[in-house]
Amino acid sequence: MFYRILLSVAFVSTLILISCNQNNPNNSGSSNPIILNNLAFSIEESVYARLGEKISIDVNLHNYKDTAYELGGFDLYIAYKLNAMTFDSVSTGQMIEYCGWWYYTYRHYIDTVDRVEFGVVRIVSLSDHYFADPICLTPNDSSTNQIAQMHFSVKNDNSLRRQTIPIQFFWKDCGYNNVADLSGNDLYLSNRVISNGIDISRFDEYPNFTGYNASCDSLMESRRGNFYTIVDFFNGSVRIR
């Protein structure tokens, strides 16, 4: 699992203090907006695209508490519909580039949920405090929160016109979508999952798109270190014209 990887490379982890504005990263105009008070990851929402067009979608990291979290790395899983888009690649985000994180990789594969196949993009990064730029400790530009940019090609299929295609965080077991602290001992897990301004988080059985499952409690309690369900995940979408 991801935390085992982090334990082996804890000596190259860095202290990254993320501070940014208090706006909802995926504000959908809902009359009951979600109030953010935790560490959060967001996928860019309402990206407009035409049939056959190549598009880029940002993945961002946010911190909405007065006390910033010490981050040593993250392991994200993001799913999309295979019938709507073709995966091309992932570019390193501006924050990762500027702050000089030590390790960054991704891979793409196909998985199944309720007999429906999805494309899944896994993004993993570990930080290196020995080479961290001072601005990474107190960033004041929200653009530095970009951690990845995913690249897709929209399929040239007329049946996709005027559809909204979800791009969402995906969980298959307790090791998915985890964030580790500077030491690699403490894990930050999902608190809420937000789609279109609505909290959809539930304790659904794995695999799911709704976040942390209480069945993981005993597993997490058996490992060294602590775990905290404090991370909010904001799903994104593509609107095809």
10 Å CB burial of residue 42 (0-12, 13-18, 19+) is buried
Residue 137 counted as domain residue: yes
Residue 138 sits in a domain of what CATH number? 2.60.40.680
> Which carries the bigger pLDDT value, residue 76 or residue 12?
76
Domain that holds residue 199: 2-21+35-240
Residue 29 counted as domain residue: no
Tens-digit pLDDT profile for residues 179-190: 988 777 888 899
Region 125-139 average pLDDT: 60
Residue 91 counted as domain residue: yes
From 41-45, 98-102, 135-139, 174-178, the region with the lowest mean pLDDT: 135-139
Tens-digit pLDDT profile for residues 83-124: 999 999 999 998 888 777 888 999 999 999 888 999 999 999
Residue 28 counted as domain residue: no
The pairing of beta strand 227-234 with beta strand 187-195? parallel
Residue 27 counted as domain residue: no
List, in sequence order, every beta strand (DSSP E) within 71-217. 73-81, 85-92, 103-113, 116-126, 146-154, 164-169, 178-180, 187-195, 198-199
Residue 103 counted as domain residue: yes
Q: How many domains does the chain have?
A: 1
From 12-16, 138-142, 189-193, the region with the lowest mean pLDDT: 12-16
pLDDT on residue 113: 87
Provide the token pair at 76: 């994200």
Tens-digit pLDDT profile for residues 23-70: 344 433 333 344 455 688 999 998 999 999 999 999 998 876 555 677
Residue 26 counted as domain residue: no
Tens-digit pLDDT profile for residues 189-219: 999 999 999 999 988 889 999 998 888 887 7
Tens-digit pLDDT profile for residues 216-238: 887 777 777 788 888 999 999 99
